[in-house]
Copies of this chain bind each other. A is one copy, B any other.
Amino acid sequence: MKLKCKIVDILSAAPMAGMDPRDCEALIVKENDRIRIGGPKGETVASIICSDKFSDAGTLFIPESVARAIGAKEGDELDVVYSQPPESVRAIRRKMDGQKLGAEEITAIVKDISEGSLTNIEVASWLTSLQINGMDLDETADFARAMVDTGDKVVFDKGPIFDFHSMGGVPGNKITPIVVSIAAAAGLIVPKTSSRAISSACGTSDFVETFCDINVTLERLKELGETVGGAFVWGGSMNLAPVDDIVIKIERPLGINPRAKMLASIISKKLAIGANYLLIDIPTGAGTKVHTIEEARAYAQDFMGLGARLGIHVECAITYADQPVGSAIGPILEARECIRILEGETQPTSVVEKACECAGILLEMAGFENGREKAHELLRSGKAHKKFLEIVTAQGGRPDLKSTDLVPGKYTADVISSRSGYVNSIRNRDLVAVAKACGASMDKGAGLLLCKTKGQRVEEGEVLFTLYAESETKLKHAQELAERYCPVQIEGMLLKRVTAQESD
């Protein structure tokens, strides 16, 4: 069928084309079918919107991007034919039917998602099928490999490459720069890529960027690893398994995160930087992603099974996550707490312990004995701090960086206990909501500082936690939330907001 090109603005990332219902009928195509459009300089495929809005028989409405792909301009005659859905749609249906998919099928799906050849409808169906029917480890390994192939890879000239990853879900987990610094101080290569907050109040990249640059190219990451030995950069600044970004846009509105996708996504980013040894931190506890030790063990088994299939030596650490790691939540607050520990501070012990445990496992993977003790020694001796400053400098930060350089938001308020008792629970999720209400992670100075941990004695009038914000409005909103949520529970009592003052 010949149709005349009309270029329109388009509110869609996917390639689409608008057609008059009469033309659709004549071509025997319906909404969401695909057509192949031929123009002066090539062909492309788009899915159809058949709407009365395009009631102009003989005209094909296409966005600029589609016009560019085929070298067409307004008024050109375009050749339009029906186009079969990609083969990968059949594979999606097979997963719907509960079948095990082969490597070719999985590769085709991932490639088609990456190239925009599958519509949102098809990707949503794929993710729903994964959520319900899952994948075994063979499929998940194929999935991870296919994801890597949608992006760039780095091949280090030195090795082996060490990496670690936290499954997340526990607030205040600021151990990454400490672990990397300790391990690199011992001579390991740890080119760590991190992420920003997705649903949390602060991702590693969100607080690291308060004291150095986190955007690097893959080439620069290689350099950092091979010269300084360590890095803590933002994975999003490189093109690592980028298909994940497309998939996340479909998962989010559905509120799902299929296990197989999650596993493949994590492991694909490690494959892309050529990790040989990988430690996975699995925070476990009531208020986090993994609720029980049994669940955590199942994840550990899966990660190790995937590692075996993909040539990565994987170990896992099941860590305590019933309350935040350390006291600080929010970018600058976390950065300050993290750097203080590297400077020699021994509190909060939960941060020091977790960092040294994790670094210790990496060290033992590298052949050291008594890894944990060795990690403590590297921290105590200041060697880790020296390495930290080297990395910071290499990432464009100040060579004389001090924790005191980092100043949180000037609007603060204490949340005070209205009675005496023992802290019997700290609800991570509510605490995160309060920190986000303060403005984290967008407002770098926003967040909160916990003054109490689980099991501690609290007297009436004592401060439970302090809020920090960069605006009075947000502080107020966060105070209200804190009052409503009572994230620190003292034998079931309600919290009461008491003071709000502008510090400084």
Which residue numbers of A lie inside 8 Å of B, CB to CB? 8-13, 16-18, 25-26, 28, 30-33, 47, 49, 51, 53, 61, 63, 85, 89-90, 92-93, 96, 98, 119-125, 127-129, 131-133, 249-250, 252-256, 442
Contacts and interface: CB of A to CB of B under 8 A. Distances in A.
A12 B12 contact: yes
A120 B122 contact: no
Q: How many copies does the complex hold?
A: 2
12 contacts: A11-B18, A11-B61, A11-B63, A13-B53, A32-B250, A33-B253, A122-B124, A122-B254, A124-B124, A124-B125, A125-B127, A129-B132
Contact of A125 (B26, B90, B125): B125
A245 B17 CA distance: 20
Nearest to A129: B128
A119 B119 CA distance: 13
B61 A121 contact: no
A47 to B, nearest CB: 8
A125 B254 contact: yes
Nearest to A133: B132
B28 A442 contact: yes
Given A25-B442, A128-B129, A122 B253 contact: yes
Given A25-B442, A26-B442, A124-B122, A33 B129 contact: no
A9 B12 contact: no
A499 to B, nearest CB: 28
Nearest to A62: B11
A482 B107 CA distance: 36
The 6 A-B pairs at the shortest CB distance, nearest first, are namely: A124-B124, A8-B9, A128-B128, A121-B124, A125-B128, A32-B253
B28 A17 contact: no
A53 B10 CA distance: 9
Contacts of A89: 253-255
B49 A121 contact: no
